[in-house]
Amino acid sequence: MSDVLRSDRLEFVQLAADYNPVNLGQGFPDFSPPKFIQEALCTAVNGGHQMHQYTRAFGYPPLVHILAKLFGRIMGREIDPLEEVLVTAGAYQALFCAFQALIDEGDEVIHVEPFFDCYRPMVEMAGGKPVYVSLRPKVEGSGVLSSGDWVLCAEELASKFTPRTKVIIINTPNNPLGKVFKREELQMIADLCIKHDVLCISDEVYEWLTYDGSKHVKIGEIQSSTQRSVALHMIHVGDLLTC
């Protein structure tokens, strides 16, 4: 994929700043939070939980426990809330912290194209070198494509791993294609990570948005990758209150 396509997001962000168009690219809800969420927030603030004090740096204990319960149920295994869950101020901070913690000068990070625009600058800021591999349509020129028609070539992906590879970052469901990686695709990635001693950062902030029978599978559910994946999730308050 060309540098022009790779930087399209940055170019359009600048154009939007210059011309102030109508923004159809992001969701900005024009409705208030549900009443039960507002009531729960008031109860927490007024319930003597010392919400105005500093709390545990890695995540408020009641919060990490309910997150561990939620994802443990989804993944079918027990998750240690105090050792396996880290709460951040949004997915951007989670990505930034992960890259700063894992990447050393000269380390290579495999990016699956197309990818979210903040990956590359964050990797470069940590001293890493982005390496690119593209999702490609199964059959070139096959007419109208769905997101599921875009796949990774196993041989091409394997060729991107070198002794300097430290991390591969994937995004499923993918932004902007909407592709949901299948279990066999994730298994291929997990096997390569094991073979080359590489970590996988799995950006799963759209995991709740799947359609037409697609099923979101976490790479952390694949046994061989359990200790080699860092998953990023976007959780809404309503999900936690109903957990």
Report the range of poorest mean pLDDT among 13-17, 142-146, 202-206: 142-146
Task: Give mean pLDDT, residues 69-78.
Answer: 89
Q: Considering the domain boundaries, does residue 68 fall inside one?
A: no
Please determine, for residue 212, whether its predicted confidence score (pLDDT) is greater than 90: no
Domain tally for the chain?
A: 1
More confident site: 124 or 6: 124
| Contacts (Cβ under 8 Å, ≥6 apart) of 61 | 55, 81, 82
**Average confidence (pLDDT) over 215-223:** 86
Give dist(CA 32, CA 160) in Å, integer. 46
Which range has the top average pLDDT, 91-95, 134-138, 140-144, 151-155?
Answer: 151-155
Q: Indicate whether 43 pLDDT > 60.
A: yes
Q: Which of 46-50, 161-165, 199-203, 204-208 has the lowest mean pLDDT?
A: 46-50
Question: Percent of the chain scored above 70 by pLDDT?
Answer: 83
Tell me if 193 is assigned to some domain. Answer: yes
Interval 38-61 mean pLDDT: 80
Confidence of residue 242 (pLDDT cuts 50, 70, 90): very low
Q: How confident is the model at residue 2 (pLDDT cuts 50, 70, 90)?
A: very low
Q: Considering only CA atoms, which of 118, 124, 83, 117 is closest in space to residue 100?
A: 124
SS3 content of the chain, % helix, strand, coil (to 5): 40, 15, 45
Give the CATH number, domain containing residue 175: 3.40.640.10
Does residue 78 lie in a domain region? no
Beta bridge partners of 165: 108
Q: Is residue 5 pLDDT above 60, yes or no?
A: no
67 located within any domain: no
Domain membership of residue 211 as a residue range: 104-139+148-235
Q: Is 158 within the bounds of a domain?
A: yes
Higher pLDDT: 243 or 85? It is 85
Instruction: Kindly report the pTM of this predicted structure.
Output: 0.80
152-184: pLDDT as tens digits:
999 999 999 999 999 999 999 998 889 999 999
Helix (H/G/I), strand (E/B), else coil: 46: helix
**Has residue 64 been placed in a domain?**
no
Weakest-pLDDT range from 16-30, 124-138, 142-156: 16-30
Top-ranked range on mean pLDDT: pick from 6-10, 72-76, 112-116, 224-228: 112-116
Per-chain mean pLDDT for the chain: 84
Question: Is position 16 within any domain?
Answer: no
What count of residues does the chain have?
243
Q: Which residue has the higher pLDDT, 30 or 216?
A: 216
Identify whether 66 is part of a domain: no
Cα 125 to the chain's mean position, in Å?
19
Q: Using one digit for the tens of pLDDT, what is the confidence trace for 101-115?
A: 999 999 999 999 999
